[in-house]
Amino acid sequence: MSTPRTDLPGATADDAAATLPTLVPRDRRGLTLHETVLLAVLAVVFGFLYWAFVQAWYGLQIAMGPLGDLAQNVLAGSWIMVAPLAVYIVRKPGVGVVVEILAALVEVAFLGSPVGPMLLLVGFIQGATAELPFALTRYRRFGWPTFLASGVSAGVLTFAYNAFRQGWLGQEYLGLRFAFTLASCILLSAVAAKLLGDGLLRTGVLDNQAIGRAAR
C-alpha cells in the first residue's frame, strides 16, 4: 500500500492526513466512551420497555380470543426496535447485535424474564437480522429503503427461527403468523426506530454522535 506523499510542490502534512480516511475510515474504529455509554443507556431503557411489551403480550392474548396464540407475532417487532436505532445513531458494525444482547440481559438479570438465558440467543438473532441490511450497505445508507429492508430481514429470519424452535411448521395459522410478524417488524421495529432516531436528532441530544455529525 502506498503512503501519501508530502514531497510534492505545495503538499502539506494536512493534505497527506486528509487522504487517510480513504484508507482507514474513522467510523470503523472501536467504540468511543460516549458511544459505549449511549449503548448501555439504550440497553437499559429498552430492556425495561421490552419487559413492558411482554406484559402487553399477555393482555393481547386475552383480547384476541381464539387467535390469542398469535399475539407474540403481532408484537414481534417491538422486541427488535433498539437494534436498528443503535445502528442509525452510532453507525458502526455490530452495535445492533450488542445492544439487543444487553437489553436481553437486562430482562433476564433484573426483570426475571420467563424465557431465561435463552433470551440472550434470541437477542443475538434479532440484532443480527435487523442489522444485516445496514451491513450490506457498509453502514453508509440510513434512509427509508434500508430501514424497510431491515424490517423485512428481521421479520423473515426471526420468523424462520421461531417457526423451527416453537414448532409452528404445519400449523393451520402459519401464513397468518408470518404476515403478522413481517408487518410488526416493519412497523414496530424499522419505521418506529427511524422515527424515534429522527425525533431524538431534532432535540440535539445526538449532536455528538455519528448521526448528528452526518446531519451537519
Residues 42-86: tens digit of each pLDDT: 999 999 999 999 889 999 999 999 999 999 999 999 999 999 999
For the cut 70, the answer to whether the pLDDT of residue 169 exceeds it is: yes
- pLDDT at residue 5, as a whole number: 41
pLDDT at residue 114, as a whole number: 66
DSSP class of 79? G
| pLDDT, position 110 | 78
Residue 24 — very low, low, confident or very high, per pLDDT cuts 50/70/90?
Answer: very low
Cβ-based burial of 194 (10 A; exposed 0-12, middle 13-18, buried ≥19): buried
Q: What was the pLDDT predicted at 109?
A: 82
pLDDT of 116 > 90? The answer is no
Q: Calculate mean pLDDT across residues 10-32.
A: 47
> What's the rounded Cα separation, in Å, for the pair 187 and 181?
10
Mean pLDDT computed over 109-128: 84
Of 129, 139, 131, 155, the C-alpha closest to 76 is 155
pLDDT band at 183 (very low <50, low <70, confident <90, very high): very high
Evaluate if residue 21 carries a pLDDT over 50. no
Say whether pLDDT at 118 is over 60: yes
Q: Which of 28-37, 55-64, 113-122 is predicted least confidently?
A: 113-122
CA distance 6 to 145: 42
- Cα–Cα distance, 193 to 189 (Å, whole number): 6
pLDDT (0 to 100) of residue 107: 87
